[in-house]
Structure 1
């Protein structure tokens, strides 16, 4: 995974500083540069109030330029505190009604590889309020790392990959592999079979090839079907460098990446669980057993629904560990 340029939104709160602290880790591992962005909230209410008071002030000419100037100075201060000259990039101040729109706009036009932001902003601001981060997670075309707590790479021993056995969910596996390799971690695949919705796995299959393994709640059958499905995904998507080394003990395998005569192996455990509401079970499992979560933001209609955008947002809001989300290729 190439990470050479990242975008860091900040509202200057203590929570938003988590992203800047995490950036130091990514600079060490990926040698990347960072642009900082702050969005000044456009307030129609304030504009109307000043007009009614008859004050000789214009929001566009007098108020917002001053706010933007102050914000630029604070960004400069943040940059000097958390970044060195080699990693510090542009300082961006925008004025917008919706912070998420500005963040997404700059993320797309600036050719960034990742957005790193706090999952929660300051109590007194809407800029990085959960809703902003959730909108960025749902709509970003590039990976988003959302942080509820500080990021400690030396504590990342288990990376959780929720999967609904769709190609959409498997797209994150190569990225999860690279992250596990960088942080010397292992992988956990988690498949939640929603009790009221278990039959829908059949509807998600392109053929009847895996029907006997997917259509009933048998952990070993589901596990075997997941592994076979992942192997097929590697072959069909020009990912032949990846393979699965099946071990004698079920649910405990290895993903192997081969390049020439060299290979890297990452341990992977597969967990199959029954659940009532998938996103709640993902959050509970992750908060108990995972140090980082990597997942797709969308899934195929007709699956167990926990990869629809709204679920990714709910996980963003309630997860304690770092969450890296990726938007899947629509061709899958």
Structure 2
């Protein structure tokens, strides 16, 4: 599934936090790892026409150090029996990563969410949506302080919101779960304004008395019961479909705010990996955009597998 893994690095230990996860994935997939480092321009200039492509000026002395660094990391992979290549790129960080992914025909891009320089901005601020919108490849992200022991991928948390867009992650979940013989937990958070998240009984049909009073007061009894019932039916259907594919799957239903629900459940089940799409409808559409993005990354020391829905 992921036969070629692109790994952008910047020479910092923070960026290297992704390496244990890449090693683990590459060994399971018998994949080729492509290590890349971007030589960023020290300045750029425009000649007469501001609309013309800018001309970049580079510190070429940085290239030798980068090549030596990549060669050293490549050797470490090879000593573990993993095929590795290096690719030196020149230009702005985000554009260069995208170009490297295309050149390497990467099946997945794996990197730490913060590095020393340019990489620190790839998934933060205004650049984040640009990368996710332009790269039609899965992204494996880790925080720099994520423990290497979390690379086992034996328990995968999969938040979905009932939309087809959020379900684009499921084929990837099937592949990874079979690769690692992993347990899968599907999570549906029914969005409410209540800041306290709580689990609901997924095995029982919803009745008015089972839905919290403050929800009934706001939306009306029949509407709220119907909303919870549809959420329950949908996640049970997805659970059963995955079970038919031979996976060990549990389904959980919650109400509250999506980010809090995801974070709480990840900690509760000790998830090794959180797998989801970068866009869904309602709450999940905002999880990796705006101010919420840094919030969830700061709260969870677990790898994230992100897939952009078509």
CA contact (8 A) 1:193 1:304 kept: no
In structure 1, distance between residues paired with 2:157 and 2:81:
32
Residue 267 of structure 1 pairs with residue 248 of structure 2: yes
2:224 corresponds in structure 1 to 216
103-112 vs 7-16, greater mean Cα deviation: 103-112
In structure 2, distance between residues paired with 1:328 and 1:177:
16
1:40 corresponds in structure 2 to 39
In structure 1, distance between residues paired with 2:32 and 2:79:
10
In structure 1, distance between residues paired with 2:254 and 2:80:
48
CA contact (8 A) 2:34 2:86 kept: yes
CA contact (8 A) 1:4 1:32 kept: yes
2:264 corresponds in structure 1 to 284
CA contact (8 A) 2:24 2:151 kept: no
In structure 2, distance between residues paired with 1:281 and 1:15:
28
| Partner secondary structure for residue 79 of structure 1 | helix
Gaps of 5+ in 1: 48-58, 198-213, 231-242, 246-253, 258-264
CA contact (8 A) 2:112 2:141 kept: yes
Q: Taking structure 2 as the reference length, what is the TM-score of the superposition?
A: 0.74
In structure 1, distance between residues paired with 2:35 and 2:103:
15
Residue 114 of structure 1 pairs with residue 113 of structure 2: no
160-169 vs 83-92, greater mean Cα deviation: 83-92
Deviation (angstroms), 1:147? 1.4
1:127 corresponds in structure 2 to 118
Residue 256 of structure 1 pairs with residue 227 of structure 2: no
In structure 2, distance between residues paired with 1:142 and 1:316:
20
101-110 vs 2-11, greater mean Cα deviation: 101-110
Deviation (angstroms), 1:137? 4.6
The root-mean-square deviation of aligned C-alpha atoms, in Å, is 2.9
Counterparts of 1:58-69 in structure 2 under 5 Å? 60=57, 64-69=59-64
Aligned residue-pair number: 261
For residue 95 of structure 1, the aligned residue among 85, 90, 93 is 90
Deviation (angstroms), 1:296? 0.5
In structure 2, distance between residues paired with 1:321 and 1:138:
23
In structure 2, distance between residues paired with 1:280 and 1:194:
11
Deviations, residues 133-176 of structure 1 (Å, cap 9, x unaligned): 35345542111111121444674332111111011111211211
For residue 188 of structure 1, the aligned residue among 176, 185, 190 is 185
Deviation (angstroms), 1:86? 6.4
The alpha-carbon distance between structure 1 residues 85 and 306, as it changes in their structure 2 partners (threshold 3 A), is closer
In structure 1, distance between residues paired with 2:119 and 2:298:
12
1:296 corresponds in structure 2 to 277
| Partner secondary structure for residue 216 of structure 1 | helix
Deviation (angstroms), 1:219? 5.0
Deviations, residues 81-130 of structure 1 (Å, cap 9, x unaligned): 23349644432222323x12211222133211111111222xxx22221x
| Partner secondary structure for residue 60 of structure 2 | helix
The alpha-carbon distance between structure 1 residues 74 and 225, as it changes in their structure 2 partners (threshold 3 A), is closer
CA contact (8 A) 1:100 1:133 kept: no
2:166 corresponds in structure 1 to 169
1:72 corresponds in structure 2 to 67
CA contact (8 A) 2:33 2:83 kept: yes
| Partner secondary structure for residue 179 of structure 2 | helix
